[in-house]
Chains A and B, each alone.
Chain A
């Protein structure tokens, strides 16, 4: 009965579809597009040697954009309902097939780990030694750095609920302390790695002390300010940091003293292998994998310790924490400095990986990217952060691969130009789509009878 009724209503709706309204709506969007395109798209400014700045009109482009906006909106209004319904039911079906898998998380984890360990070999296997470079370096190592940074920041933002927009400062502290210690004093990478972590943690305490009594957005802005100050000092203190030109010649990490080069003392010679640059990449890959897993392990452990619970309690309700006698300043400082420490260690790795660093790598954008990875992942969720890093970093790296688009848009088309544009759009879209991130559920840190995940709607995001 009810079903028939629903069908009737649906068909009525279709019959009474408001074509005029749809046209008007789409027309409005078209006009809006026109308004937004004028003049910023319609005229491209070009610096002409003789005439100064001249305008090149591009009305064809505007026309195309307006047409696209109009048609897309119109089609959405006409078919959108059905499409959305289809997508929803598809998502539900996928969700329900995946849900029994949840009970196999342990197996999942093992499979995932095995895959990660096998990844460089698989890359060589499928892409050949030459092609593998890109897959291991740009995808593997690059993504893992962001996974590690995401996990580090997750301690601060996801667990303790402290909004830090200057996380990249600690990454910079780690990278620069490694660069300076190794080039000035000849410290080895293996010594610099923990030192970078310690320095970054100290900086975390130093900066955290004054700022951690601020709340919410104010904390975010002060951390942003500190991040920028550190970057500007790195640029301007030329005597120490070589300014914007950066520091090069940072010694590469060695395999317990064996350098990765073609010499007789090198890694390849020692193990009787044919020298190839892949060895170093393999090593760097496993190193960052190890560092990231260490971050993960420590975080998971800490979450089940009093300090970790205090972090989460702080995120939930700072006033309640104080009423329970929790020293909120120390608790926040530990979160801030431990997060900073992992950022610093990642920085040390970053410096040694390329052998070159400059302030350009530590701009606010980096902080924004790391933060968006944490928020998109679902604050506090380790696996969510990892997935978000793969999607965001892998996704934007993927754009570099879209050279075949040249065939469509002409040779002048450079897909990498759209990388950050799409990145920004994706951030907005993801927030609109899932404001609480991919995995908003929270796992309890201690269980009496039976473990049950806690729905995201109850979990608070913190005021700090």
Chain B
């Protein structure tokens, strides 16, 4: 097979914010993720693609702490921390995180889910939307700001007596929420139950709810699933604006190639839990392995089929 002529890493020189190393996840006998390593670049959009059942959601669940990986290391480097010996030193201890300079390094495989969201500041959405359907749109976004608001309410003591400091904090939280709602055009529906929104709006609401936690890394599991082309385009815009104006790094799983190719800076392709390709959209588009994976045939079969045609 001819080597692709395109440089897989053209224009990808950003430092990593997340480094996944030798990640393996087994469910009984099934190896859903097999010795997977990749980087997510800071301030960029990285896409994780692959056929159904390739293990993409499982990777997300390992990164966000919902599953405990069978083995491997997942390091998040926030606020300018860089890969380096500090990480190995931390790995040798039994600690989960350490501050380095202005930033911090976090060994996500050691942390439970809610701490990953709260301390390492990795937010996520779900393949099956998980909004608080019986709460209003606004409430959803306020709940997302729970941790700092709860501190501001003096762990409810100040809040119970209606202290001004808490009322101010709450007003500020509402402001943040409303600003996000404005960005997705849902301000008018702030008082509607989230479960009553159309599907596309629910998807975007789930994304901004995750953003309300103030993440450094946002993981989106198939954000464009079930969207029509117009909604898809709006989503692209939203994701790009999150990258550009909030400086949040994005990792997304997506089947919709129009979304993936248009907005990703970097793509990783999984098949049967293994990485089969990794590079720029341009590179991925032309990688025969990827094409074969999406056609669902082995390389040799492609060759065989070609040979048959020739005869």
Residues of A within 8 A of B (CB): 298, 301-302, 305-307, 309-310, 312-313, 316-317, 319-328, 334, 442, 444-452, 454-455, 458-460
Q: For B146, give its contact among A298, A309, A454 (CB under 8 Å).
A: A309
Distance A442 CA – B132 CA, assembled complex (angstroms): 13
B143 within 8 A of A: yes
Are A450 and B191 also in contact (CB < 8 A) when A316-B133, A322-B117 are?
yes
Distance A252 CA – B305 CA, assembled complex (angstroms): 93
Which residues 136-158 of B have a CB within 8 angstroms of A? 136, 138-139, 142-144, 146-147, 149-150, 152-153, 155-156
B135 contacts A313, C-beta separation under 8 Å: yes
B143 contacts A444, C-beta separation under 8 Å: no
Secondary structure dominating the interface of B: helix
B159 contacts A305, C-beta separation under 8 Å: yes
User: Chain B residues with Cβ under 8 A from A450's Cβ?
Assistant: 191
A317 contacts B147, C-beta separation under 8 Å: no
Of B122-130, B228-236, B286-294, the one touching chain A: B122-130
Which residues 93-150 of B have a CB within 8 angstroms of A? 113-119, 123-126, 130-136, 138-139, 142-144, 146-147, 149-150
User: Chain A residues with Cβ under 8 A from B156's Cβ?
Assistant: 302, 305-307, 334
Starting from the known contacts A302-B160, A306-B142, A446-B138, 12 additional A-B residue pairs (CB-CB under 8 Å) come to A305-B156, A310-B143, A312-B135, A313-B146, A323-B64, A323-B66, A323-B117, A326-B146, A447-B138, A449-B191, A454-B193, A458-B134
A327 contacts B114, C-beta separation under 8 Å: yes
Distance A424 CA – B152 CA, assembled complex (angstroms): 46
Are A323 and B124 also in contact (CB < 8 A) when A309-B142, A445-B139 are?
yes
B210 contacts A323, C-beta separation under 8 Å: yes
Distance A329 CA – B190 CA, assembled complex (angstroms): 29
User: Chain B residues with Cβ under 8 A from A446's Cβ?
Assistant: 136, 138-139, 142, 170, 174
B191 contacts A448, C-beta separation under 8 Å: yes
Please indicate which of the listed interface residues A319, A321, A448 has the most CB atoms of chain B within 10 Å of its own CB: A448
Q: For A317, give its contact among B132, B187, B191 (CB under 8 Å).
A: B132
Q: For A306, give its contact among B135, B153, B193 (CB under 8 Å).
A: B153
B209 within 8 A of A: yes
Q: For B196, give its contact among A316, A321, A447, A458 (CB under 8 Å).
A: A458
Residues of B within 8 A of A (CB): 64, 66, 113-119, 123-126, 130-136, 138-139, 142-144, 146-147, 149-150, 152-153, 155-156, 159-160, 170, 174, 178, 187-188, 190-193, 195-196, 209-210, 213
Distance A306 CA – B117 CA, assembled complex (angstroms): 17
Q: For B213, give its contact among A310, A325, A327 (CB under 8 Å).
A: A325
User: Chain A residues with Cβ under 8 A from B134's Cβ?
Assistant: 312, 316, 442, 454, 458-460
A325 contacts B147, C-beta separation under 8 Å: yes
A324 contacts B143, C-beta separation under 8 Å: yes
Distance A448 CA – B177 CA, assembled complex (angstroms): 10
User: Chain A residues with Cβ under 8 A from B126's Cβ?
Assistant: 319-320, 323
Q: How far is the CB of B142 from chain A (nearest CB, A)?
A: 6
Nearest 8 CB-CB pairings of A with B:
A459-B134, A325-B118, A325-B117, A316-B132, A458-B195, A448-B190, A320-B130, A305-B159
User: Chain B residues with Cβ under 8 A from A324's Cβ?
Assistant: 117, 123, 143-144, 146, 209-210, 213
Distance A324 CA – B152 CA, assembled complex (angstroms): 17
Distance A178 CA – B29 CA, assembled complex (angstroms): 57
19 contacts between A and B (CB under 8 A): A302-B156, A305-B156, A306-B153, A307-B150, A307-B153, A312-B135, A313-B146, A317-B130, A320-B126, A322-B117, A324-B209, A325-B114, A325-B119, A444-B191, A445-B139, A446-B170, A447-B136, A448-B190, A458-B195
B174 contacts A312, C-beta separation under 8 Å: no
Distance A458 CA – B117 CA, assembled complex (angstroms): 26
Q: How far is the CB of B77 from chain A (nearest CB, A)?
A: 19
B174 contacts A313, C-beta separation under 8 Å: no
User: Chain B residues with Cβ under 8 A from A454's Cβ?
Assistant: 134-136, 193
A319 contacts B130, C-beta separation under 8 Å: yes
Please indicate which of the listed interface residues A301, A324, A445, A446 has the most CB atoms of chain B within 10 Å of its own CB: A324
B190 contacts A449, C-beta separation under 8 Å: yes
Q: How far is the CB of B80 from chain A (nearest CB, A)?
A: 21
B113 contacts A444, C-beta separation under 8 Å: no
Please indicate which of the listed interface residues A323, A448, A449 has the most CB atoms of chain B within 10 Å of its own CB: A323
**Number of A-B residue pairs with CB-CB distance less than 8 Å in the complex they form:** 140
Q: Which residue of A lies closest to B181 (CB)?
A: A448
User: Chain A residues with Cβ under 8 A from B143's Cβ?
Assistant: 306, 309-310, 313, 321, 324, 326
Distance A305 CA – B131 CA, assembled complex (angstroms): 19
Distance A302 CA – B213 CA, assembled complex (angstroms): 22
Q: Which residue of A lies closest to B160 (CB)?
A: A301
A452 contacts B113, C-beta separation under 8 Å: no
Distance A449 CA – B192 CA, assembled complex (angstroms): 10
Q: Which residue of A lies closest to B195 (CB)?
A: A458
Q: For B132, give its contact among A307, A312, A447 (CB under 8 Å).
A: A312
User: Chain B residues with Cβ under 8 A from A298's Cβ?
Assistant: 160
Distance A309 CA – B147 CA, assembled complex (angstroms): 12
Q: How far is the CB of B195 from chain A (nearest CB, A)?
A: 4
Distance A374 CA – B130 CA, assembled complex (angstroms): 26
Distance A458 CA – B137 CA, assembled complex (angstroms): 13
Q: How far is the CB of B157 from chain A (nearest CB, A)?
A: 10
A309 contacts B114, C-beta separation under 8 Å: no
Please indicate which of the listed interface residues B114, B135, B152 has the most CB atoms of chain A within 10 Å of its own CB: B135
Q: For A447, give its contact among B170, B191, B209 (CB under 8 Å).
A: B191
Distance A182 CA – B117 CA, assembled complex (angstroms): 48
User: Chain B residues with Cβ under 8 A from A313's Cβ?
Assistant: 132, 135, 143, 146
B159 contacts A306, C-beta separation under 8 Å: yes
Q: Which residue of B lies closest to A305 (CB)?
A: B159
User: Chain B residues with Cβ under 8 A from A301's Cβ?
Assistant: 159-160
Q: Which residue of A lies closest to B219 (CB)?
A: A323
Distance A155 CA – B210 CA, assembled complex (angstroms): 27
B131 contacts A320, C-beta separation under 8 Å: yes
A328 contacts B114, C-beta separation under 8 Å: yes
Are A444 and B146 also in contact (CB < 8 A) when A320-B126, A322-B113, A450-B191 are?
no
Distance A455 CA – B136 CA, assembled complex (angstroms): 11
Q: Which residue of B lies closest to A456 (CB)?
A: B134
Distance A255 CA – B202 CA, assembled complex (angstroms): 57
Distance A41 CA – B143 CA, assembled complex (angstroms): 56
User: Chain A residues with Cβ under 8 A from B155's Cβ?
Assistant: 307
Distance A107 CA – B174 CA, assembled complex (angstroms): 29
Q: Which residue of A lies closest to B118 (CB)?
A: A325
B135 contacts A310, C-beta separation under 8 Å: no
Q: Which residue of A lies closest to B166 (CB)?
A: A305
B160 contacts A305, C-beta separation under 8 Å: yes
B191 contacts A310, C-beta separation under 8 Å: no
A455 contacts B160, C-beta separation under 8 Å: no
Distance A309 CA – B118 CA, assembled complex (angstroms): 17
Q: Which residue of A lies closest to B144 (CB)?
A: A324
User: Chain A residues with Cβ under 8 A from B118's Cβ?
Assistant: 325-327
Distance A309 CA – B213 CA, assembled complex (angstroms): 15
Distance A325 CA – B143 CA, assembled complex (angstroms): 10
